Amino acid sequence: MPQLSHMVYFTLSDDSESKIQELLHACQHYLSDHPGVVYFSVGRLNKDLARPVNDHGYQVTINVVFDSRESHDLYQVAPRHLQFIAEQKSNWKQVRIFDSDLV
pLDDT tens readout for residues 36-52: 999 999 999 999 999 99
Q: What is the pLDDT of residue 39?
A: 98
b/e per residue, 30-58, with b = 16+ CB within 10 A?
bbeebebbeebebeebeeeeeeeeeeeeb
Residue-averaged pLDDT of the chain: 98
Taking 90 as the threshold, does the pLDDT of residue 1 lie above it?
no
Domain ranges for the chain? 4-49+56-97
What pLDDT digit, counting tens, does each position of 27-37 carry? Answer: 999 999 999 99
Q: Which CATH number fits domain 4-49+56-97: 1.10.8.640, 3.30.43.10, 3.30.70.100, 3.90.1420.10?
A: 3.30.70.100
Give mean pLDDT, residues 76-88: 98
The reported pTM is 0.95
DSSP state of 45: -
